[in-house]
Amino acid sequence: MNYGYYSSAALVTSVVVYLLAFFAHAAEWATARQVPVADEAVERELVTAGAPSTGTTAPRGASAAAGADEGLADRRIEQFSRIGVTLTVAGFLLSLFGVVCRGLAAGRGPWGNMFEFTTTAMVFVVAAYLLMVWRAGLRWLGLPVTLLATVANGLAVTVFYVAVAPLVPALHSVWFLIHITAASISAAAFNVGGLLSILYIVKKRAEDRGRVSGYLARIPSSRRIDLITYRFHAFAFPLWTFTVAAGAIWAEYAWGRYWGWDPKETWALVTWVIYACYLHARSTAGWRGTKAAVIAIVGLASFWFNFIGVNLLVSGLHSYAGV
């Protein structure tokens, strides 16, 4: 059985499916623009957001006296949202299948180069998102998550793609499993956290101007988004610390020094320090809120630079990009 072929086919298809999911969520947002926001509706959204709701918005239209139009729009928003999530699940299954096949084709963990790492990390990103949809009603995150998944998997199958190959001797280690799995899971959490930070800033601006309308009125309050953002980062930060430490241990085995200021190591530390700033900023007067969110976004940018920029622009010991 040609695992490599099925892997590529599934991953390319997942890009298309994610793109369709993105369109569905875009339609969801666009439809919400046409619905005038009653204060009462906003109020109720804030209340339900606090409870572990299933994310359903259906009952709102039913009670509203505003008329059939609004109820219809609400139903359409709900419909688009469901289509988006269903497509995302399909895309997720495809990319999971693709990544597993890739691992079977290579006979090892499928994260030996940029293509493999990106697709694996995206499986974790979408898994985290779907888990949150299921457990905490984070369906409103669909638009940015599907956009990220489309772009990242799209880049992976076009620009980063390399055929299946064994690993160089430096990667023959149990730490290949530990270090990179931890890196990709924290990547997923940082990415979702970054998307949430962007949403937070958008929502906060709208709130400060007193003009919360359209889809923004249907997502939780900025305070609540901030809390969810924090939880993602609070999960990712210790894991990232562990990732860097595991990398250091591996470096001691592979290169005989646990820290050597290799560009990848340096940027991992820079990323770590920026996220440390984020956590400190959240408990410092005058830095909470938008400023902290901006720091989180800078942290994500640093993470991406460490992945893409350092792999492609800078030469160092971590030159396994294979592009």
Partner 1 sequence: MTDTQTRPAGESYQREDPRPERAGPDLPRLGLRGTLRFLWAQLTSMRTALVLLFALAVAAIPGSLVPQRKISPIRVDDFLEQHPTLGPIYDHVGLFSVYSSPWFSAVYLLLFVSLVGCIVPRVNVYAKALRAQPPRTPRHLGRLPAYARTELVADGPAGAGTADDVLDRAVTELRRRRYRVRVVEDATGRSVAAERGYLREAGNLVFHVSLLFLLLGVAVGALWGYRGSSVVIVGQGFSNSVTQYDDLTAGGWFKASSLEPFNVVVKDFQVRFEYGPVQTGAARLFKADVAVTDAPGEPTESKVLEVNHPLHIDGSTVHLIGHGYAPVVTVKDGKGDVAFSGPVVFLPQDGNFTSAGVIKVPDARPQRIALQGFFLPSTVVNANGAPASAFPDALNPELFVNVWAGPPAPETGKAENVYTLDTTGMTQVKGDDGAPLRVALKPKQGVTLPDGMGTVQLDGWSRWVKLQVGDSPGAPVALGAIAFAVAGLCLSLFVRPRRVWVRVGGRTPEEDGDTGPRVIEVGGLDRADARGGLTDDVDELADTLAGRSSDEKVTT
CA distance 193 to 271: 14
Is residue 162 within 8 Å of residue 208, measured between CB atoms? no
CA distance 267 to 271: 6
Kindly indicate which of the ranges 11-19, 53-61, 191-199, 258-266 contains the residues binding partner 1, using the contact rule CB under 8 A: 258-266
By the 10 Å C-beta count (0-12 exposed, 13-18 middle, 19+ buried), 5 is classed as: exposed
Q: DSSP of 189-250, one letter per residue?
A: HHHHHHHHHHHHHHHHHHHHHT---GGGGGSPPHHHHHHHHHHHHHHHHHHHHHHHHHHHHH
Nearest to 229 by CA among 253, 210, 257, 204: 204
Kindly indicate which of the ranges 5-13, 67-75, 139-147, 240-248 contains the residues binding partner 1, using the contact rule CB under 8 A: 240-248
Nearer to partner 1, 92 or 190 (CB): 190
Say how many residues make up the chain: 323
Among 34, 36, 166, 312, binds partner 1 (CB under 8 A): 166
Which residues from 281-300 bind partner 1, rule CB under 8 A? 281, 283-287
Q: Is 160 one of the binding residues for partner 1 (CB under 8 A)?
A: no
Sign, CA dihedral 10-15-16-17, equals positive
Q: Is 47 one of the binding residues for partner 1 (CB under 8 A)?
A: no
Please count the residues of this chain forming the interface with partner 1, following the rule CB under 8 A: 56
Nearer to partner 1, 210 or 256 (CB): 256
Nearer to partner 1, 76 or 231 (CB): 231
Q: Is 5 one of the binding residues for partner 1 (CB under 8 A)?
A: no
DSSP state of 163: -
- Mask 192-231, x = binds partner 1 (CB under 8 A)? -----------------------------------x--xx
Nearer to partner 1, 17 or 171 (CB): 171
The amino acid at 225: I
**Residue ranges that bind partner 1, judged by CB under 8 A:** 162-166, 168-170, 172-173, 227, 230-231, 234-235, 237-238, 241-242, 245, 248-250, 252-263, 266-267, 269-270, 273-274, 276-277, 279-281, 283-287, 302, 310, 314, 316, 322
